[in-house]
Amino acid sequence: MALLRERYPRFHSKAYLFTLSALKSVMQSLDPPRHITGTELAEGCRRLAVEEFGPMALTVLGHWGIHGTRDLGEIVYALVECGVLVTQEGDSLDDFDGVFDFGEVFEENYPWGANIP
């Protein structure tokens, strides 16, 4: 974690742990497990943020330096650079661009009382 924070101080250490938790959650939902896309991981982060932080998701993620899905990709690629995660041919940081709008999913269209897909 110290290496990540040293190389990428923009993100709080909890941002990396959160992203890894979302990855684990997505992987556990797959049968059989397989490589996942940037979009799948971003959606997994969205679900986990709503489950864990509820209406405070936007605030918590913002506090950690996560303001959009591109930030999630930058976290993933920081983890790749540090040897924690691996990519496959064809994977790109651009896969995380514009997956969803944080203001839309965490404020305007917050799923009050709904099951998160």
Q: Is residue 9 part of a domain?
A: yes
Q: Compute, in degrees rounded to 10, the torsion defined by CA atoms 113, 106, 14, 67.
A: 170
Q: Both ends of the chain: CA-CA distance in Å?
A: 31
Q: Which domain holds residue 61?
A: 2-108
On whether residue 67 sits in a domain, the answer given is yes
Q: pLDDT tens digits for 48-93?
A: 999 999 999 999 999 999 999 999 999 999 999 999 999 999 999 9
Q: Exposure pattern of 18-40 as b/e (b: 16+ CB <10 Å)?
A: bbeebbeebeeeeeeeeebebeb
User: What is the Cα–Cα distance from 1 to 75, expressed in whole angstroms?
Assistant: 12
| pLDDT exceeds cutoff 80 at 6 | yes
Query: What confidence tier does 113 reach under pLDDT thresholds 50, 70, 90?
Result: low
Asked whether residue 115 is domain-assigned, the answer is: no
Residue 117 belongs to a domain: no
The tally of domains found in the chain comes to 1
Is residue 16 situated within a structural domain?
yes
91 lies in a domain?
Answer: yes
The answer to the question of residue 114 being in a domain is no
Give Cβ neighbours of residue 45 (< 8 Å, ≥ 6 apart): 18, 19, 22, 69, 72
Q: Is 81 within the bounds of a domain?
A: yes
